[in-house]
Structure 1
Amino acid sequence: MIPDAEGISYFSFIMVLIVLTGVTTSFYQSSVFSEASRLPPVYMQAVLSGQGVAGVIVALSSILSALAGKSTVEIDMDKDSINRSAFLYFLSAFLITLAALIGRLIVIRLPFYQYHMNASKPENSLSITEEAEVEAEDGAEEAQPLLLHEENSARLWAVVCKLSLFIFTVGFIFIITLMLFPSVTSLIKSVRRREESHTGGRFFDDDIFVAFHFLLFNIGDWVGRMMPLCKWFTITQIHWLAVLSALRTVFIPLFLICNIVVTGQRKWPVLIQSDFAYFVLMWLFSVTNGWICSLAMMAAPHLKSIQTAKEKSMVGSIMSFSLVVGLAIGGSLSFAVRSWV
Structure 2
Amino acid sequence: MSLPPGSPEALYHVVPHPDDEEVNASQIELAGETAAEPVLPPMDLPPFLVDARIRWIHFILGCSVLLPWNVVITAMPFFLSRLSSSPLRSTFGSYLTTTFTVSNFVFLAHATLTSKQSSPSRQTRFSIIWLTILNFFLTLSTFFVPSPGVLFAFVLFNGVAQACAGAYLQTSVIAVASRFGPPAVQAMMSGQAAVAVAVSGVQVISAAASVMGKTHSYVSDGSAEERSAFMFFSLSTLFLIASAAANTWMVRMPVYQHIAASLEKPPKKSLAEDGHEDERRGLMSDHPHDDPMSDMKSNAIRVAKANITYEVAVAYIFMVTLAVFPPITTSIQPTNPATHPLLFSAIHFLVFNVGDLTGRYVCSFPIFAVWSAKRLLTLSAARTLFIPLFLMCNVQRGTSRIGGTPIINSDFLFMAILFCFGCSNGYVSSLCMMSAPSLEHNPRLKGRTEDVDVAATVVSFCLVGGLAVGSIASFAVKSAICGCNPFYG
Q: Report the Cα offset of residue 177 of structure 1.
A: 0.7
Q: Report the Cα offset of residue 5 of structure 1.
A: 2.3
Q: Report the Cα offset of residue 266 of structure 1.
A: 5.5
Equivalent position to 2:459, from 297, 302, 319: 319
CA distance in 2, matches of 1:284, 1:263: 26
- Percent identity for Structure 1 against Structure 2: 29
Q: Report the Cα offset of residue 40 of structure 1.
A: 1.9
In structure 2, give the amino acid aligned to 1:207: L
In structure 1, give the amino acid aligned to 2:173: V
Equivalent residue for 1:290? 426
Equivalent residue for 1:137? 283
CA distance in 1, matches of 2:235, 2:397: 32
Equivalent position to 1:171, from 280, 294, 315: 315
Q: Please list the CA deviations of residues 79-101 of structure 1 after superposition, one character each: whole Å capped at 9, or x if unmatched.
A: 23343344444444344434333
Structure 1 residues 68 and 160 mapped into 2: Cα distance closer, same or farther (>3 Å)?
same
244-253 vs 149-158, greater mean Cα deviation: 149-158
- The answer to whether the Cα contact below 8 Å between 1:235 and 1:295 also exists between their aligned partners in 2 is yes
Equivalent residue for 2:410? 274
168-177 vs 211-220, greater mean Cα deviation: 211-220
Q: Report the Cα offset of residue 162 of structure 1.
A: 0.8
Matched, 1:111 2:254: yes
In structure 2, give the amino acid aligned to 1:325: G
CA distance in 1, matches of 2:386, 2:418: 9
CA distance in 2, matches of 1:139, 1:292: 43
Structure 1 residues 88 and 134 mapped into 2: Cα distance closer, same or farther (>3 Å)?
closer
Q: Report the Cα offset of residue 39 of structure 1.
A: 1.2
CA distance in 1, matches of 2:322, 2:449: 32
Instruction: Report the 3-state secondary structure (helix = DSSP H, G, I; strand = E; otherwise coil) of the residue aligned with 1:144.
Output: coil
Equivalent residue for 2:14? none
- Larger relative contact order, structure 1 or 2 (CA cutoff 8 Å, min sep 6): 1
CA distance in 1, matches of 2:426, 2:285: 53
Structure 1 residues 244 and 98 mapped into 2: Cα distance closer, same or farther (>3 Å)?
same
Coordinate RMSD, CA, aligned: 3.0
Structure 1 residues 162 and 188 mapped into 2: Cα distance closer, same or farther (>3 Å)?
same
In structure 2, give the amino acid aligned to 1:257: M
TM-score by length of 1: 0.84
83-92 vs 30-39, greater mean Cα deviation: 83-92
In structure 1, give the amino acid aligned to 2:289: Q
**Larger proportion of helix:** 1
CA distance in 2, matches of 1:32, 1:297: 13
Instruction: Report the 3-state secondary structure (helix = DSSP H, G, I; strand = E; otherwise coil) of the residue aligned with 2:470.
Output: helix
Give the unaligned 5+ runs of structure 1: 194-199
Matched, 1:241 2:352: no
Equivalent residue for 1:304? 443
- The answer to whether the Cα contact below 8 Å between 2:352 and 2:422 also exists between their aligned partners in 1 is yes
Equivalent residue for 1:84? 227
- The answer to whether the Cα contact below 8 Å between 1:69 and 1:81 also exists between their aligned partners in 2 is no
Q: Report the Cα offset of residue 41 of structure 1.
A: 1.4
Please give the residue correspondences for 1:199-210 in structure 2 after superposition, counting only pairs within 5 Å.
200=338, 204-210=339-345
TM-score by length of 2: 0.60
CA distance in 2, matches of 1:76, 1:264: 18
Q: How many residues align?
A: 326
CA distance in 1, matches of 2:458, 2:171: 8
